[in-house]
A = this chain, B = another copy of it.
Amino acid sequence: MAEITAQLVKDLRERTGAGMMECKSALKEANGDMDEAEIVLRKRGIASAGKKSSRVTKQGLIGTYIHHGGQLGVMLEVNCESDFVARTDDFKELVHDLAMHIAAADPQFVRKEDVTPAAIEREKDIQRARVIAEGKPEKVADKIVEGRMGKFYEEVCLYEQPFVKENTLTVDQLIKTKIAKLGENIGVARFTRFKVGGE
Q: Chain A residues in contact with chain B, CB under 8 A?
A: 39, 42-45, 48-50, 52-64, 66, 69-77, 79, 86-87, 92, 95, 105-106, 123, 126, 129-130, 133-134, 152, 155-156, 190, 192, 194-199
Contacts and interface: CB of A to CB of B under 8 A. Distances in A.
Given A60-B196, A190-B194, 17 more contacts: A39-B126, A42-B126, A43-B130, A49-B155, A49-B156, A56-B71, A56-B198, A58-B196, A62-B66, A62-B71, A62-B196, A64-B64, A64-B75, A73-B75, A73-B77, A75-B75, A192-B194
A198 B54 contact: yes
Considering residues A52, A61, A106, A198, which has the most beta carbons from chain B within 10 angstroms of its beta carbon? A198
Nearest to A64: B64
Question: How many chain copies?
Answer: 2
B62 A133 contact: no
- Say whether chain A's binding surface is mostly helix, strand, loop, or mixed: mixed
B196 A61 contact: yes
Contacts of A123: 49
Contacts of A56: 71, 195-198
A194 B64 CA distance: 11
A42 B61 CA distance: 37
A26 to B, nearest CB: 13
Contacts of A190: 194
Nearest to A92: B70
A199 B129 CA distance: 39
21 contacts: A43-B130, A45-B133, A48-B155, A49-B152, A49-B156, A50-B156, A55-B197, A56-B198, A58-B196, A58-B197, A60-B196, A61-B71, A62-B70, A62-B195, A62-B196, A63-B70, A64-B64, A69-B87, A73-B75, A77-B194, A192-B192
